[in-house]
Every structure is written in C-alpha cells, then in structure tokens.
Amino acid sequence: MQLFGIPNCSTVKKARDWLTEHHVSYEFHDFKKQGISTNIVSDWLAQLPWEKLVNRAGMTWRNLSDAEKMAVVDAASALNLMLEKSSVIKRPILVRDGKIICLGFTEAAYKELI
C-alpha cells in the first residue's frame, strides 16, 4: 500500500499514525520531496472526478488568483494544476495495487478498508 501526501498536513499525520498503530505496512510518498508524476495523477483522474481530487478548501487553492481558479474546468486543467502545485491535491490518498481505496482520512473509513 502507498499513502500519498505531505508530512506536515494534520490529516496525513492522523492517517500515518492510524496505520502505524494498527500495524499496517505502507510506503509514504511525499509530494513535496518526491514530486508526483503525470502518470500517477492521470490514473487517479481516471478513478475519481477531478472535483474530488482538487482540494478547494485548502490554502493552496485559496491562494490562487481568481483567474487560476476559473481556469480549472476539467480533468486536463486540473491535471496541470496538480502537477504544478501538488499541495492542491486532496490528501491523504491511500492506494493499493494502483487503485485509490481512500481519499482523505477518517478512522471509520480506514477501519472498514483494512
């Protein structure tokens, strides 16, 4: 399993702590240090609508200009934004065998999945 996110995000910290406490083995992929590839984001966009993957409640989105926000209208424009500013990707993303099994973190969802 892989957990994608950034280490200083409080929701990512909760997910990592939960996985560790429940002895679930995973590989952490840090967007900031390791980046994110076009192939990975394209795979995610094939699995979930771009509106779910772009975190429009986060600071990165809020700090975009109105023009930048209005330019995100479909999967292709969302892909470009996510590659340019990986912090705009909703996190954490828990992936098993290339498939997103959970977007975001709630203890209830993780208990159900694992």
Catalytic site residue 9?
yes
At 89, which helix (H) or strand (E)? Answer: none
30: nearest Cα among 59, 4, 60? 4
- The Cα 29–Cα 77 span in angstroms is 23
- Decide if 29 contacts 17 (C-beta within 8 A): no
Q: Which CATH superfamily is domain 2-113 in?
A: Glutaredoxin (3.40.30.10)
pLDDT at 114: 80
Q: Residue ranges per domain, the chain?
A: 2-113
Pick the catalytic residue from 3, 6, 9, 45: 9
Per-residue pLDDT of the chain (114 residues; tens, 9 = 90+): 999 999 999 999 999 999 999 999 999 999 989 999 999 999 999 999 999 999 999 999 999 999 999 999 999 999 999 999 999 999 999 999 999 999 999 999 999 988
